[in-house]
C-alpha cells in the first residue's frame, strides 16, 4: 500500500472537528434559550386557549374564545388605543430630539460637552419611583407646572393633569420623552464618532447649513442605528408598563392604562384569568413582530 493511500484513511477531518467543537460550545446556551424562552412561549400559547380558575384550567369552546373576547372588551380596546397613542406621539418626538442633541454635542469646538452629555443621559439612569414622585409633584393641581402656566397667562386656572384623561396621557408622554431621549442619544453619538469630521468641514465650506448637514450627511450615514433605535423604542412602548402604574395607575377610570398594565391587572389584581392574560400577551407579541417587520422592510433596503 502506497503512502498516499495510507494518508487517505477514513476519519474526521480538521474542518469537521472544528465545526463539531463549535456546536458543542453552542449547545449549553441553545438548551437554556429553548428551555427559558421558547418553551414558556409555547406553554403560554396553550394557556391562551384555556379558561377557568388558575388551578383548574381547561381548553375553551371554541379554542379562540379568549382572542374573540378581546375585541369586545372595552378596557382592552382602551388600553390598545392608549398604547398606540403613546407610540405614535412619543417615539418620533423622542428619536428626533435624540438625533438633534447628538448632532449638537458632536461639535468639536463645543465646551463642556461631557457635562451636557451626562445631564441629558442621566434621566434614563434615574430610579422609576424617584422620577415618578417628581413628575406627580410637578403636575399636581397646586404644582410647579400649573403655577408657571397660570402666571404666564397660558391658563386661567390650574388643571388637574393626573385626573384628566388627556392630561394624564400627556404626562406619561412627557415622562417617556424626558427619560429615554438621552438613552437613544448615546447610540447616535457613538455612531457619529465613526464619521470623518472632514466631511462636515467640507460641507460647511460649500455653504451647507446645520440642518442640511443633519439631513443630507448625518441621517443617511446613521440609517442602520436609527432603524435599530426605532425598533427598540417601538417594542418598548408596546410593552409599556412602569409609567402607567407609577404615574397615573392607569387612571382616571382606565383612561391612560396600557396593554401590559391591563394584563397585570387581569392576572394578579382582579379575579385571576390566566388564559385571557396569555391571549393579550400574544396579541402584543404579534403586534411587535408585525411592526418590526414593517420597519425592517421600510428602513433596510437589503
Taking only the tens place, the pLDDT of each residue in 165-177 is: 999 999 999 999 9
Q: What is the mean pLDDT of residues 67-85?
A: 93
Distance (Å, rounded) from C-alpha 101 to C-alpha 89? 19
| Structure letter (DSSP) for residue 59 | E
Sketch the domain layout of the chain as residue ranges.
12-59, 70-299
Helix (H), strand (E) at residue 50? strand 50-51
Q: Are 20 and 35 in contact (CB under 8 A)?
A: no
- Angstrom distance (rounded) from CA 39 to CA 31: 10
- Using the 8-state DSSP alphabet, how is residue 2 labeled? -
12-35 average pLDDT score: 87
Q: Where are the alpha helices (DSSP H) in 193-222?
A: 197-205, 210-213, 219-221
Please give the Cα distance from 251 to 262 (Å, whole number): 12
Q: 220-259, pLDDT tens digit by residue? A: 888 889 999 999 999 999 999 988 998 999 988 899 999 9
Place of cell 450615514: 221
Cell for 85?
Answer: 397613542
Distance CA 200, CA 207 (A): 11
Q: Is the pLDDT of residue 7 over 70?
A: no
User: So what's the pLDDT on residue 32?
Assistant: 93
In the CATH scheme, what architecture does the domain 70-299 have? Orthogonal Bundle (1.10)
* pTM given for the model: 0.85
Please classify residue 300 by burial: count the beta carbons closer than 10 Å to its beta carbon, then call 0-12 exposed, 13-18 middle and 19+ buried.
exposed
- CB-neighbour burial class of residue 269 (10 A; exposed 0-12, middle 13-18, buried 19+): exposed
Position 81 scores a pLDDT of: 95
Average the pLDDT over 194-200 and give the result: 84
Mean pLDDT of the chain: 87
Residue 208 has pLDDT above 80, yes or no: yes
- The count of C-alpha atoms lying within 13 angstroms of the C-alpha of 67, restricted to the half-sphere facing its C-beta, is 13
Amino acid at each position: 500500500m502506497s503512502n498516499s493511500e495510507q494518508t487517505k484513511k477514513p476519519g474526521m477531518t480538521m474542518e469537521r472537528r472544528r465545526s463539531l467543537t463549535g456546536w458543542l460550545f453552542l449547545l449549553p446556551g441553545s438548551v437554556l434559550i429553548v428551555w427559558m424562552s421558547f418553551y414558556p412561549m409555547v406553554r403560554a400559547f396553550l394557556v391562551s386557549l384555556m379558561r377557568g380558575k388558575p388551578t383548574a384550567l381547561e381548553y375553551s369552546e371554541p379554542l379562540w374564545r379568549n382572542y374573540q373576547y378581546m375585541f369586545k372588551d372595552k378596557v382592552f380596546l382602551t388600553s390598545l388605543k392608549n398604547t398606540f397613542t403613546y407610540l405614535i406621539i412619543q417615539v418620533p418626538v423622542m428619536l428626533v430630539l435624540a438625533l438633534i442633541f447628538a448632532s449638537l454635542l458632536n461639535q468639536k469646538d463645543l465646551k463642556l460637552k461631557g457635562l451636557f452629555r451626562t445631564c441629558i443621559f442621566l434621566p434614563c439612569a434615574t430610579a422609576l419611583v424617584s422620577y415618578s414622585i417628581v413628575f406627580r409633584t410637578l403636575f399636581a393641581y397646586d404644582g410647579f407646572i400649573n403655577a408657571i402656566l397660570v402666571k404666564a397667562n397660558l391658563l386661567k386656572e390650574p388643571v388637574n393633569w393626573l385626573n384628566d384623561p388627556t392630561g394624564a396621557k400627556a404626562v406619561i408622554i412627557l415622562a417617556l420623552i424626558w427619560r429615554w431621549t438621552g438613552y437613544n442619544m448615546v447610540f447616535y453619538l457613538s455612531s457619529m464618532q465613526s464619521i470623518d469630521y472632514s466631511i462636515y468641514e467640507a460641507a460647511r465650506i460649500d455653504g451647507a447649513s446645520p440642518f442640511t448637514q443633519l439631513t443630507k450627511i448625518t441621517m443617511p450615514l446613521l440609517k442602520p442605528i436609527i432603524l435599530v433605535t426605532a425598533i427598540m423604542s417601538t417594542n418598548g412602548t408596546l410593552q409599556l408598563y412602569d409609567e402607567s402604574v407609577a404615574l397615573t395607575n392607569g387612571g382616571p377610570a382606565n383612561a391612560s392604562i396600557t396593554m401590559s398594565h391591563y394584563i397585570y391587572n387581569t392576572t394578579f389584581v382582579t379575579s385571576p384569568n390566566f388564559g385571557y392574560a396569555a391571549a393579550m400577551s400574544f396579541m402584543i407579541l404579534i403586534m411587535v413582530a408585525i411592526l418590526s417587520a414593517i420597519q425592517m422592510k421600510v428602513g433596510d433596503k437589503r
